[in-house]
Structure formats: structure tokens, C-alpha cells
Chains A and B, each alone.
Chain A
Amino acid sequence: MVAIECQGLTKDFHVGFWRKRPVRALDALELEVAEGEIFGLLGHNGAGKTTTIKLLLRLIFPTSGTARILGRPLGAPDLAARIGYLPENPYFYDYLKCRELVEYYAELAGVPAGERRARAQEALARVGMAEAMEQPLRKCSKGMVQRVGLAQAIVHRPQLAILDEPMSGLDPAGRAEVRDLILELRQQGATVLFSTHILSDAEQICDRVAILKRGRLAFAGPLDAVAGREESEIEIVFRERAGGGLGLVRRETIAAAELWSRLEALRAKQAQIVSVNPARRRLEDLFRAEPAERAAGRGAGQGN
């Protein structure tokens, strides 16, 4: 079955005070997410990822187009209890303790009263907040709030998890934990849709991705297809020996076929290899903004 399908989903925002003019944030999006897959929504800043997610959750309403989730039209009464949602940069009632907050959301999601506390504790422990359960949210760090947000998204064991930048604000260990969590959710039979502008996060766990570019769908399918791994290029980062010590860090992109000969040559020079990675040329190209947009989209495709 299809977990999410969007048909011609379009959203115009009206900006300006006196003479409102429409700005198209999302343009006729056609998207299908199969049940049980991990689906990545990629795109640079302002591409329309959050807009898509908010439309799916009916926090905003489409200018035109429709969408269905788990075979039901958006807003169907029994749908919300089957979805878990983590908003971008979440913020929660800061007068509550972490456990109280997750319990409250479990209550709203219809978890029976007797199970709420145990389920909240389990979810918080799952996101690495076992020690800080009784801490008020007012005193939580950004990464801790993000973890609490993940806990409330999974506490009612949703069939579909929609996570808007689930790794943002987390340290490297935290990012890895979130990747594990997403993989685990899939293993338990859930579908996961998450957005990110960091390629490697998507690459490591996504079955399929969609790439948005200025509100338009630029690509949808398995990452391998777009990355063209077979004939792709490889990026080597290394430091050569120079005058007794190590020289500057250097970066080279070479054809995959040349990899071994190049590595041999570097070994002969006693260079230190820092990293060897597939270059993902075409994906980067799709991802990369036009020069005029580049300032706004800086950082896309980089990072860890």
C-alpha cells in the first residue's frame, strides 16, 4: 500500500502588507511514499520541505492539489493517531517536565491512562533521555529538546513518522542514534518520511529520496539511481609529506577506475590518507543551487 501520495500539491503564501502578492512555496508536487520505507525529503534551505510536511499535517492548507495518507484523505478522523510528527526546531511547554510532556502527548494520541507513564519513559529512554526525564523543559539544551521531540513523535507507536530535520541540533553521536532509531522504526513496520539538507544523513538510511528545488520536484527515486554510483567519481582527501612534517590537506576528485593507481602513488609518497568517498557528482549537481541562490543555500551538501 501507499503510505503517502501527493497529487499536484501546491502552496502559495501571500506576502506584503498592503498589496499581497503570492509566493509559490510548493509547485504541483507529485509524490508517492510506499509503506514500510524510509523516505528522505531533500533540498536546500527554502526548497519547500517544511511546507510539504506542514501541508501533510494540515497545519497549513494547500492552494490546490490533494494528498492522501495511509489510503485516507488528509484530516480523516482516525488518521492523526497513526502519525507521529516532529516539527522543525521544536519548542514545547516549558513549564512541564520532559516526562510530563511526553505523557501529555501520549494522552492526546489515545494511549490508555494506565500505560502512559511506562510508554513515556520507554520513549524517552529510547532517545537517550533516561537520565533527564524529570528535568523541566525550561532547563533543557537544544539537543535535549530535539530528543524530547523525537520521543513524543514515537510514544504512541505510529504507523507513519514524519520528522522535519530530525538530526538538527544533535551532536555526531546523537545523529547516529537518530539514524538507528529510524532504521528501528522501519524494522517495526513503520514508514518514515524525514527531511534534511545533509546528504550523508539521507544516504546512509534512505530507501528512496525526493529532491525539492525551489518548490519543484527535481528528482524522486532511489539514491543509487541519481548518484550513479557505478560510474561515479571518487573524492580523496590526503596530506602529503613536506619537509619532514605533514603538508596541507588536499582534496582530489578522480574517476573511480583510477582509484587504486592513485592510492598506490600516494603511498609511495608516504602521504596520509584522510578520507576516500564516492563523489556523488550528479546528486550534488541536482542539489546545488544556482549561483544567485547559493548564498541562501550555503551549507547544503556539506557537513557531516
Chain B
Amino acid sequence: MPAAGAILSVSRNAYREAIRDRILFSLLFFAVLMVGAAVLFSQMSFGISADSLINFSLAAITLLGVIIAVFLGNQLVSKEIERRTLYTLLAHPVRRTHFLLGKFAGLVWTLVVNCGLMGVALFLALLYVLPAHVAAGEWSLLAALYFILLALAVLTAIALLFSCFASPVLAAVFTLALFVIGNFDDNLRALGESSRQWLGGHLAIWISYVLPNFGDFNVATAASHFMPIGWRLIGLNTLYALVYCGVALAIAGAIFENKDLK
């Protein structure tokens, strides 16, 4: 079976699995509820404006996306090994690397659908609360959603990498830890650059380059004030996410390609 066909088949099935998992629906329900609550709150108090609604909603979308990426991503591979569903799959003309890519694509597509629906909910809420502002800020809001998706794709790739050799619980802990640290990546680099210790400083800088930089994907402040987001940043973030996912998946593939399935 050609590579693209195998990857597509596996990803379609991964998406089907996520859809049939009721967890996904409850998360979505939760998200709609949160946006609804935000609208209610902004209606009740005069002080609350579009920016707090947007900030709050983007944070909610990110949080739910992270939950999906970490808790579905961390078992993408390990669950199939443990339950031995992988045996029959890999006996088919599907290369192990293609299996990984298919799983990755399936989960990213799940995240796209999920974030897309939540984004639509956010737009509707904004239209309802502050229709005048939407026209001005929709592009920066769209860019903010796109960046969230890029960050979630990177997170999924990391979860998948850990899933290749760690148990689901450990993989989830590692991935979450990296997500938290990755949000302070710039601080780490700044720390390294200002450090007087040569070794410690350089170590901090190197580590900051290896760790995923999630801070750059966070433009909630700009988006909530309807400030334009430049094409340069969009391009750079896209490139960064592509390269990071590529490297993480390549390492995962290299580990997984010659692994004994117990």
C-alpha cells in the first residue's frame, strides 16, 4: 500500500476512535458551556468587555486542546501495544513510521475539528456581545486560534514520542511538564543570556533551544485587543511547528521502527 494511502487510512481510523470516545463530546460540551458562561458574565457586569471574553475563551480552548493532546496522544501508541491491536495492523502493508504519522494526523485533525467548533462558538458569542468589534479583530482572532492549533500539534508530536517508550501515565506527566516549561522557554533563554557563569549560561540557552517554545504561540493579549498579527510571526511560527513536529516524529519513528512488540 502506498505511503499516503496507509497514513490516510490509519489517520481516518484514529479520528473515528476519537469521535466515538465520549470524552471528546463531553469536552466539547464543556467548552460551549464555558463560552456561554463568558457571555453571561459579560452581560451582567458593565466592566467586562471583549478582551476579557476573548482571553478567557482562548485560555479555555487551549486548556481543552492540551487535555485532548496529552491524554489521547500519550496512549496513541502505548495503548495499541498493550492491547496488542498493533499486531494485526503491522502485519498489513503499513510501515511503522507510517502508522505513527497516521496516528499523529488523526489526532491533529481531531484537534482541528474541536478547536474549530470552539472557535465558531467564540465568534458567535462575540457577535452577540460586541458585534462592532468583530469586524475589526477577526483576523487576529483567527491567527490566535491558528497558533493554538500549531502549539497543540507540537504537543501531540511530543506526546506521541513519549508514548513510544513510556507508559501512558509517565508519558502524560512528561508531556504536561514540557508544556508548562515550554511556556517559560523565553525566560530560560533570557536567564542563560544574562548568566555570568559560562557553563550554566550556555546550558540554559541550549536547553531553551531544545525545549519547545510555546510562549511564541501565545498571542492572546494581542488578539484580545484586536491588534494585528504580522505575517512574519505567522510564517515563523508555522515553520517552527513544522520543524519541531518533524524532528519529534522522526525520533519517534527511529525508536519505533526496530522495537520488539511484547
Residue positions of A touching B, CB distance < 8 A: 54, 57-61, 77-78, 80-81, 83, 85-87, 89-93, 95-96, 104-105, 107-110, 149, 152
Question: Of B83, B87, B93, which is within 8 A of A77 by CB?
Answer: B93
Closest 5 CB pairs of A and B: A85-B91, A108-B92, A80-B93, A95-B20, A60-B260
Question: Interface residues of B: mostly helix, strand, loop or mixed?
Answer: helix
A92 to B79, CA, bound (A): 12
Question: Of B17, B87, B91, B258, which is within 8 A of A61 by CB?
Answer: B258
Instruction: Determine whether B89 belongs to the interface, using a CB cutoff of 8 Å to chain A.
Output: yes
Question: Of A59, A95, A110, which is within 8 A of B1 by CB?
Answer: A110
A92 and B85 within 8 A (CB): yes
B89 and A108 within 8 A (CB): yes
Instruction: Determine whether B133 belongs to the interface, using a CB cutoff of 8 Å to chain A.
Output: no
A110 and B93 within 8 A (CB): yes
By a CB distance below 8 angstroms, the chain A residues around B89 are 105, 108
Instruction: Determine whether B221 belongs to the interface, using a CB cutoff of 8 Å to chain A.
Output: no
By a CB distance below 8 angstroms, the chain B residues around A105 are 88-89, 92
By a CB distance below 8 angstroms, the chain A residues around B10 are 108
B residues 1-58 in Cβ contact with A at 8 Å: 1, 5-6, 9-10, 13, 16-17, 20-21
A68 to B260, CA, bound (A): 19
A47 to B137, CA, bound (A): 69
B91 and A81 within 8 A (CB): no
Instruction: Determine whether B94 belongs to the interface, using a CB cutoff of 8 Å to chain A.
Output: yes
B261 and A81 within 8 A (CB): no
Instruction: Determine whether B90 belongs to the interface, using a CB cutoff of 8 Å to chain A.
Output: yes
A85 and B87 within 8 A (CB): yes
By a CB distance below 8 angstroms, the chain A residues around B20 are 95
By a CB distance below 8 angstroms, the chain B residues around A61 are 258, 260
A59 and B16 within 8 A (CB): no
A152 to B91, CA, bound (A): 11
By a CB distance below 8 angstroms, the chain B residues around A78 are 93
Question: Interface residues of A: mostly helix, strand, loop or mixed?
Answer: loop
Question: Of A85, A90, A95, which is within 8 A of B17 by CB?
Answer: A95
The 15 listed contacts between A and B (C-beta, < 8 Å) are A58-B90, A61-B258, A61-B260, A77-B93, A80-B91, A87-B84, A89-B84, A90-B84, A90-B88, A93-B17, A108-B6, A108-B10, A108-B89, A108-B94, A110-B93
Q: Across the interface, name the chain A residue whose C-beta is closest to B13.
A: A104
Residue positions of B touching A, CB distance < 8 A: 1, 5-6, 9-10, 13, 16-17, 20-21, 83-85, 87-94, 258, 260-261
Least CB distance from A58 to B in Å reads 8
A149 to B89, CA, bound (A): 12
Least CB distance from A167 to B in Å reads 18
Given contacts A59-B261, A61-B260, A104-B9, contact A81 B90 (CB under 8 A): no
Q: Across the interface, name the chain B residue whose C-beta is closest to A75.
A: B95
A83 to B92, CA, bound (A): 8
Least CB distance from B261 to A in Å reads 5
A80 and B92 within 8 A (CB): yes
A90 to B129, CA, bound (A): 54
Q: Across the interface, name the chain B residue whose C-beta is closest to A57.
A: B91
By a CB distance below 8 angstroms, the chain A residues around B88 are 85-87, 90, 92, 105, 149, 152
A107 to B2, CA, bound (A): 12
A91 and B1 within 8 A (CB): no
Question: Of A80, A95, A96, A110, which is within 8 A of B21 by CB?
Answer: A95
Q: Across the interface, name the chain B residue whose C-beta is closest to A87.
A: B87
By a CB distance below 8 angstroms, the chain A residues around B85 are 91-93
Q: Across the interface, name the chain B residue whose C-beta is closest to A79.
A: B93
Q: Across the interface, name the chain A residue whose C-beta is closest to B94.
A: A108
A80 to B187, CA, bound (A): 50
A86 to B92, CA, bound (A): 11
Q: Across the interface, name the chain B residue whose C-beta is closest to A110.
A: B1
Least CB distance from B106 to A in Å reads 13
By a CB distance below 8 angstroms, the chain A residues around B261 are 54, 59-60
Given contacts A95-B20, A108-B1, contact A81 B92 (CB under 8 A): yes
Least CB distance from B114 to A in Å reads 18
A93 to B5, CA, bound (A): 20
B93 and A108 within 8 A (CB): yes
By a CB distance below 8 angstroms, the chain B residues around A108 are 1, 6, 9-10, 89, 92-94
